[in-house]
Structures are given as C-alpha cells and as structure tokens.
Amino acid sequence: MKHIAFIVLVFFAVCAGAQSGLTLPEESPYATVSQRVGITDITVTYHSPAVKGRKIWGGIVPYNELWRAGANENTTISFTDDVSIGGQKVGAGIYGLHVLPGEKEWVIIFSKNHTSWGSFFYKKEEDAARVTVKPTEHEFTEWLTYSFTNKSSNSATLSLQWEKLQVSVQIDVDSKAIVFENIKQELRSTAGFRWEGYYEAANFCYNNQYQLEQGKSWIETAERLHPDEFVVLRLKSKYQEAFGDSVGAAATLKTALSKASEGDMNTYGYELLAQGKTKEAIEVFKTNVKNFPKSWNARDSLAEALAMSGNKAEAIKEYEQSLKNNPPAEHKTRIEETIKSLKGS
C-alpha cells in the first residue's frame, strides 16, 4: 500500500507542476546523448540525479532491486536500425532501459515498454533483451551520466557512470548490411537518376569488399550513364581485376587515364603512393607534369614522390619548378622550407 501511495503522490505532484504553467529547473535534470554507428543512430534519454554526499550503491540504489537507470520517467534507448547486444538481436525502435544492480554483476534490461513511469510498471514478459555485465571502478562522477566510448563503424560501448562506478555494454551494428540495404532504397529515389549515385554505391561495395556482384552491376550502370568519367572507369577496372579479368582491367585503366583531368591524375598518383607503389606513382605524376607543365601542384606532387623514393636532387628540381609556377603563398612557404630541408639533409 505504501508503494501505491508513493506512486499516486508522484503522479499528483507532476500534474500540479504541469498546471502551474511555469518552466522550472528539475532536481534531476533531463539529459540525452546520441551516437551514430555507421548510419545507425543510438540515443539515450534520461534524467540525471546527483550524489549529494549520499550512499548510492546499496543505499539510494539498493542491490538486487529493479532500478530505472536514472531518475523520474522511464530511461529510454532508441535505435534507428536493428542492433545486437550481448549476442541478442534488438530491433529498431525505442526501449525502456532498466537495470538490476548487484555488487559483482548487473543485469541490463531492454524493455519493449518505454512509456511507463520509471520502473514501477515493469513486466519481465515485455523484455526485448537482458545482458549481464560486470561493474568497474571509475573516477568520481557527481551527476549520473551516460556516454559512448570505444566507437567504430560497427560498434560502440554505452557506459553509465555515477559516483565511483561505471557499467558498460557493447552495442554492435551490422553497418555493411544496413548501408547496403539503405543504398538500394535510395537508388530507387532521386539518386537513381544520376551516375554519381551508382558510382558511390559501387565504391562502397568495393572498399568494403561486400556484395561485389551488385557493386559490379552498379559500376556498369554508372558507366552507361556517364561513359567518359575517369573515376567510373578507374573503379570499373578495379572490379574487372577483382573478378579475374586482368586484360580488361588494364584496357579500361588505359582508357580512364586518357580522359583524366589534372586532379584525377594527382589523386590516382597518391592512391598508388598509399599502396606503396612509389615507382608507379612517380610515372603517373610525370605524365601529369607533361600534360600540365604550368601547374605548380602537379610538380609539387611529383617532387614529393621523388623525395619519398630517395631521389633528393630530382625532387629539389621539381620543387624549384613548382615555385616558378606561382603557388599560393601558404604553399610557397611550405615548398621553400621543404627545399631547405632537402638541401640540408
């Protein structure tokens, strides 16, 4: 009966506050934290109580009793796509976040009911997932706080910190699959009318080595829509190589290079440098200089590659030629300093 009376008092207190028409500070203020993993948004909404010198664990928050993982209303967590928590699939949606704290282990509960007040109306049969985790010591935190750490394109760790304790749970996202399905839907909209959409879709598949058959189809569509674009032909050659057509890949790359702009060639050269193919990169940069002899940037890039190969004398010559082609002031200063460094080493 005392429990019911408390709930009723809380209800009428809230109603009375709402009727006043005033916006006043809450003792446990509202807070929210969000994190994007891949293209999936995860958001925690909660009210943050303070320690205020009180005994929290085993005191204000009793062990082995259900707690709302915050104050006031339901603490909630939402996912814009399906996720995996502790090996359990949790579908896209909003969930009530509850915990069973223990001295050595905590149970984190994701409830399909996110609209009730606190944990007072919690029902186990509404659980979407339960995960057991171990609490760890943490630097003192006055206000209960949620944060995301250990972030990657496929996962993030959600942590609750309060007083001198932290409780964490890893949330995994199948980002490749989610992005892939999202791309398919977006290509049925305005993106599907332009070659750039198919190119970016194919590039995603190639870079992630995911669904390459579909990626190959997309790059072929991009080529049909814009057959003379360097980046499209370059990516097509990569797909041909990936599917064992080395002869076709070489022919497509040759065609691509014949249509390349100065910027295209420069980007391709740096791509080769990143792959450790310094000699090939130098040849690409030399071709760029031959095609655009008045470009300070083309000579600057060639000089950089020559310096990386250990050919300081030729690098200095190209840097000096770059200066004669009037680079912007900030690049001029950098090039001059680089020349001094090469001559002094």
* Interval 249-296: pLDDT, tens: 999 999 999 999 999 999 999 999 999 999 999 999 999 999 999 999
- Pair 49, 166 in one domain: yes
Gap between the Cα atoms of 168 and 155, Å rounded: 13
In this structure, are residues 42 and 78 in contact, taking their beta carbons and an 8 Å threshold?
Answer: yes
Check which CATH number belongs to the domain holding 178 and give it.
1.25.40.10
Same domain for 201 and 152: no
The stretches in the chain having pLDDT less than 70 are 1-20
Choose the final residue of a domain: 172, 203, 218.
172
Q: Does residue 32 lie in a domain region? A: yes
d(CA 236, CA 250): 10
pTM over 0.85: no
Residue 154 resides in a domain: yes
Residues 117 and 127 in one domain: yes
Residue 159 shares a structural domain with residue 216: no
**For residue 20, what pLDDT is reported?**
67
Together in a domain, 321 and 202: no
* Residue that is last in its domain, among 144, 172, 200: 172
Cα Rg for the chain, rounded, in angstroms? 30
Residue 47 φ/ψ region, left for φ over 0, alpha for ψ in the -120 to 50 degree band, beta for the rest: beta
Residues 126 and 152 in one domain: yes
Task: Give residue 119's pLDDT.
Answer: 86
Residues 212 and 282 occupy one common structural domain: no
Quick check: is 242 in a domain? yes
Residues 289 and 157 in one domain: no
Residue 261: partners with Cβ closer than 8 Å, 6 or more residues away:
230
Task: Give the per-residue pLDDT at 166.
Answer: 98
The last residue of one of the domains, among 126, 144, 172, is 172
- Are residues 202 and 113 part of one domain? no
Number of domains observed in the structure of the chain: 3
In a domain, 22, yes or no: no
d(CA 78, CA 65): 24
Same domain, 128 and 206: no
Range of the domain at 228: 174-259
What is the Cα–Cα distance from 290 to 297, expressed in whole angstroms?
A: 13
Q: Are residues 68 and 118 in the same domain?
A: yes
